[in-house]
Amino acid sequence: MLRIEIDMFSGRPNPIWIISDKAETDRFLAAVAEATGVTAKQGAGFTGLGFREVRVDLIADDEPRKRRVPQQFALASTAAKDLKASGALARRLIEAMPIRSEIQLVEHALTPLNAKLRRAILERLAEYLGDPPRIYRPKRWPPYNPLRTTIKDEKCTTCEYEVSQFNPGFWNNPTVQPKNNCYNYARNWRTDTYAQPGRAHGAQTSIMQCNTVTAAAMADGLVKRCNCLPTSEWPRRLMALVVDNQAPGFDYHWYRHQRGGFWGHKPGGGAARNVDNSNVVITNPETCDRGRYNAFCGYFYAGRSVVIN
C-alpha cells in the first residue's frame, strides 16, 4: 500500500490518496526501482509556494521491499537528479488519481479528489517541470553563542566578523599563560606551544618585519581585512599586527577586536589584557601606546580554517 500526497497547497490540505491495489503498487514500485535518479528525500527540493513535489510513502511494515526504493521518497522534486524522469513517474501517479476514492481520508473533506483537481495538478506539474523553481536555501546562521556577536566591519560594511566577550580568566592562569602568546590570543586558539605565524604550515619567519610576518600569517590562512570571509568561516576574528621597528627584526605583536568596541591582547607569556602600555583601554590599535612596537602593519581576518601552532 502506498500513500500519495501532492505537496502543492499552503492553506488547505494537500491532495492525498491511498493505493491499496497490490498489482498497481508493485508495477509502480518496479518502475521506480528501474529508473535512476528519480527519487529524492522528501522536503529536500523546492519548498516555496506552489507545486513542490509528489510524496510517496510505503505505509505497511510487511510490504516486500524493492532494492533502491526508499520507504518514503519524493518524485518531481527539484532535488532529484533526473527531474524529467522523476516528473514522468509523478505524472503517471497523478493521471491514475482516483476520482472518488474508496478510501476516505479526513483531508478529502476540504480537498476532495475530483477530475477538476486532477487537471489542476497536472497543469501545475507541467508548468513546474517546464520551468523548475530554484531551491531556496535559507541563510545558515551560526549557532547561538551568548559570548559572541556578529558585527559588520565599519571599514568595509559588506564584511562581517565575530567579536567575543573579553575573557582574560581563560588565559591568565599558571597552566595556560606562559605557554600562549599574542598570536594565540588574537587567533583565539590555545595551542600551549607559543604559536608562531606560519609555523603550522612550514612558513615561519625569523625576520620580524611587517611584510615577513604578514606573509607567514597568511600562510596560516589569515586574509587581509575587507576580503570578506563567508559564514562558513564563522567564528571570524579581526586581528591587528604591529612590529617593533626600532630595532628591525626584534619582535611582532597581535591584537584581537573584542565585544564592547575595545581590543584585547596578550603580551608574550604575560597576562591577557585590554589596556595599552599607558594602562588605557585600547579602542584603536593604531594609536594606542604600544611601547617600542611602533610600526602598524595592518588588519586581518582569521576564520575557523586558520590553523596555528
Stretch that binds another protein, among 38-46, 120-128, 178-186, 297-305 (CB under 8 A): 178-186
Of the two residues 128 and 255, which places its CB atom closer to another protein in the complex? 255
Q: Is 258 in the site for another protein (CB under 8 A)?
A: no
Q: Is 42 in the site for another protein (CB under 8 A)?
A: no
Give me the least distance between CB of 222 and another protein, in Å please: 14
The burial class, CB within 10 Å (0-12 / 13-18 / 19+), for 263 is buried
Interacting residue with another protein among 52, 225, 237, 290 (CB under 8 A): 290
Residues in binding contact with another protein, number by CB under 8 A: 29
Q: Is 212 in the site for another protein (CB under 8 A)?
A: no
Give me the least distance between CB of 143 and another protein, in Å please: 32
Of the two residues 96 and 203, which places its CB atom closer to another protein in the complex? 203
Q: Is 182 in the site for another protein (CB under 8 A)?
A: yes
Q: Is 181 in the site for another protein (CB under 8 A)?
A: yes
Interacting residue with another protein among 183, 262, 300, 301 (CB under 8 A): 183
The burial class, CB within 10 Å (0-12 / 13-18 / 19+), for 94 is buried
Which among 59, 78, 72, 62 is positioned nearest to 1, based on CA atoms? 59
Stretch that binds another protein, among 39-47, 114-122, 132-140, 286-294 (CB under 8 A): 286-294
Sign of the torsion angle spanned by Cα atoms 192, 193, 198, 200: negative
Q: Is 250 in the site for another protein (CB under 8 A)?
A: yes
Q: Is 179 in the site for another protein (CB under 8 A)?
A: no
Interacting residue with another protein among 43, 132, 142, 270 (CB under 8 A): 270
The residues that touch another protein, with contacts defined as CB under 8 A, are 181-183, 194, 196-197, 208, 213, 246-247, 250-254, 265-270, 273, 275-277, 290-293
